[in-house]
Amino acid sequence: MPIKVQNNLPAKEILENENIFVMDENRAIHQSIRPLQICILNLMPIKEDTELQLLRALSNTPLQIDITFMKMNSHVSLNTSANHLNRFYNTFDELKENKYDGMIITGAPVEHLPFEEVDYWQELCEIMEWTKTHVFSTFHICWGAQAGLYYHFGMKKYLLPEKLFGLFEHRVMNRKIPLVRGFDDIFMAPHSRHTAVSNEEIHACKDLIVLAESDKAGVYLCMTKDGRQVFVMGHPEYDRVTLHNEYIRDKNKGLDIKIPENYYTNDDCTIRPSLQWRAHCNNLYTNWLNYYVYQETPYELNEIHGE
């Protein structure tokens, strides 16, 4: 699938070296088809890493996607250069008149804070409300999923006894739903979080369908019945070494961090970890784009309306 990005986005060269088809703005203007308009609200601290991970995950269908990156106006990012943000990102105020086929709201390293104490919470609430009328399907990841469940359904997060960190088995709960079409009965997915949302509350919500769950990690994937909101509690987009880098970072800081579960061979962090989740990650994003964005969204984006 050709992904259309800004001409000089650093991730573009990396993806091209991986033999992933990335189309720049100059080539895209000569195409006569309407690409899917996807907005990514990137709340992660090192934004270039998340850009690369998500663009790689979105690169596996024949659909053409036009990517727009959004940043928070009410938060100053300390881990990504202002030059990068100014060149490749727009604020909500600059984009709120637009409509999008799909939107991704990423995780964020703020789970130790109550939602209302996050400095950009009010702006995020405005964005999540805006998605109801300006985005056809919104895909929430990790903390973004917890924030979405709290805002839309009033579900509170709670602190886990210890960090949920590593690769965990999940089982498909409802194979008839297209979002998990092609999934194995049991699949692996990464998690890295200190908080969770009650499994019981999610199962009891009449507006949600649970699609995948783990004995250890809890509900992994759920969505509204109309597919307009998707919630993923883990990080399917993570690269091979993302958990490794997090582990080494925290270990070097002297933090009380356990080795990520089911990740290293013999729990030996000097051995390059095996990539055990990429196929299901690709499948998840492909199914979302195909069945909940491309197949359902109106050709004229102005026809997107509220729920």
Per-residue pLDDT of 177-236, as tens digits, reads: 999 999 999 999 999 999 999 999 999 999 999 999 999 999 999 999 999 999 999 999
Question: Both tokens of residue 48?
Answer: 């270039």
pLDDT on residue 122: 97
Written as one letter, the residue type at 66 is: D
Mind telling me the catalytic residues? 142, 235, 237
Asked if 136 contacts 296 with a C-beta cutoff of 8 angstroms, the reply is yes
Per-residue pLDDT of 24-65, as tens digits, reads: 545 444 444 678 999 999 999 888 899 999 998 898 777 889
CA dihedral over 105, 111, 114, 116, signed as positive or negative: negative
pTM of the model: 0.87
CA dihedral over 97, 108, 20, 61, signed as positive or negative: negative
What whole-number distance in Å separates Cα of residue 38 and Cα of residue 293? 9
